[in-house]
Amino acid sequence: MLYYLFLYLDKFDFPGAGVFQYISFRSAMTVITSLIISMIFGKRIINFLRKKQIGEEIRDLGLEGQMQKKGTPTMGGVIILASIIIPTLLFGDLLNVYVILMLVTTIWLGAIGFIDDYIKTFLKNKQGLAGKFKILGQIGLGLIVGLTLYLSDDVVIRETVVEKQNLTGNEMVEGIDNTDYEEVKSTRDIKCTKTTIPFVKNNEFDYEYLVSFLGKHSQKAAWIVFVIFVILIVTAVSNGANLTDGLDGLATGSSAIIGTTLGILAYLSGNMIYADYLNIMYIPLTGELVVFMSAFIGATIGFLWYNSYPAEVFMGDTGSLSIGGIIAVFAIIIRKELLIPILCGIFFMESLSVVMQVSYFKYTKRKFGVGKRIFLMSPLHHHYQMKGYPEPKIVMRFMIIGILLAVISVVTLKIR
């Protein structure tokens, strides 16, 4: 909103209005605004949640210090949502298709998480929203994102094409080419299902390769495959963030690290000069996503102020589902979804530990009659709790690993 106001004022040479044209300035303002909302107004929201006795119901798992968290206000994810949405509305370009998609993602998954938390806290149903409805909501979002990227004319990749231009107009005579050529570079916008493969020299992969056997129908079929991948990625990452949200500050801190990395990648992918220098895919209009991600970073860091050990508030599914979905959709938009297993390695390992634990338990019970476990408890962070590690140490070490994975993700731009 302020973005359009100052663009209008800039036409009349209003002092300072021109700075709103710069993504860097608006991103900085977005971070500041997001931090103010999450840290100052967040405290009021926490007090309101306490007043309404919206506390976390703790299931006794025998973990040290676990029962001390009983009654801690939950549904704090509304702080994160407000800290993302409000600054984006103020400083973002709301006509940008990518910004619209990110806002839809935030509100959509935030609403699903809010319903789940509401059922748990107000209706006193510990099961919350049935898992099938969560999955349906995630599939619905995946369809919206995938189809929008397919149908919108603004979603393109800009490629540089080198052509030889005949300078003399001469033609080849008796096999002798006396024509003077000059290489001319031009650009073209193409709509395709290309994405980026990390650590590969020619690091572009097209989903169309998977269905190339369909011949002339392969291009349309590629979009179907792409939409399916979008659904799987959105579901996996949002659930991965949800599983990671088990220790004070773990999901929040990890998400801030991931968000910072994605913001860097979006800035480079949306800037023609840097994209050309790094020889990476240039995606017009994605530079505006830096403004949105700045709000995300400010929201998670601001929330970490109250969510770090010992937590004064939990984000609940309202926050965890939405931040996971935001990360997934953002990575898909900037064509870095194949980087997710590395960048979101913490989420990935937490989810994998649950799958391994459940699968192995069922297998051994069926084969030997007694279920056995790989880990002392899953998700993975509970395994280390059971081994006696203090909660703050587990969180800090996981975040250090997260920083290392973020650095590796950025390094993929040059190491191929």
DSSP letter string, 118-145:
HHHHTS--TT-S-HHHHHHHHHHHHHHH
Residue 357's alpha-carbon distances to 217, 330, 380, in angstroms, are 42, 30, 10
Which range of 4-13, 17-26, 109-118, 155-164 scores highest in mean pLDDT? It is 109-118
Is residue 100 included in any domain, yes or no?
yes
Q: Which two tokens stand for residue 254?
A: 């990890």
> pLDDT value at position 320?
95
CA angle 295, 156, 261 (to 5 degrees): 35
Of the candidates 240, 320, 299, 326, which has an alpha carbon nearest to the alpha carbon of residue 75? Answer: 320
Is residue 229 included in any domain, yes or no?
yes
> pLDDT value at position 50?
84
Is residue 370 included in any domain, yes or no?
yes
> pLDDT value at position 64?
59
Is residue 12 included in any domain, yes or no?
no
Is residue 204 included in any domain, yes or no?
yes
Q: Which domain holds residue 331?
A: 2-7+19-170+177-411
Q: Which two tokens stand for residue 174?
A: 């008796």
CB atoms within 10 A of CB 26: 25
Average pLDDT over residues 52-66: 61
The helix (H) or strand (E) run that includes residue 115 is helix 97-121
> pLDDT value at position 127?
83
Average pLDDT over residues 19-40: 93
Taking all residues of the chain, what is their mean pLDDT, rounded to a whole number?
Answer: 89
Would you say how long the chain is, in residues?
Answer: 416
Q: Which two tokens stand for residue 192?
A: 């395709």
Residue 230's alpha-carbon distances to 124, 201, 212, 266, in angstroms, are 34, 24, 20, 18
CA angle 399, 404, 408 (to 5 degrees): 145
CB atoms within 10 A of CB 201: 7
CB distance 93 to 82 below 8 Å:
no
Is residue 416 included in any domain, yes or no?
no
Is residue 257 included in any domain, yes or no?
yes
Average pLDDT over residues 84-100: 96
pLDDT tens string 389-412: 999 999 999 999 999 999 999 999
Of the candidates 145, 169, 68, which has an alpha carbon nearest to the alpha carbon of residue 331? Answer: 145
Place of tokens 């997260």: 402
- Rounded CA-CA distance 286/293 in Å is 11
- Rounded CA-CA distance 376/66 in Å is 16
CB distance 84 to 303 below 8 Å:
no
pLDDT tens string 131-187: 899 999 999 999 999 999 999 999 999 887 766 666 555 555 455 555 666 667 778
Residue 181 DSSP SS3: strand
Is residue 343 included in any domain, yes or no?
yes
> pLDDT value at position 247?
92
Q: What distance lies between CA 204 and its chain's CA centroid?
A: 20
- Domain count of the fold of the chain: 1
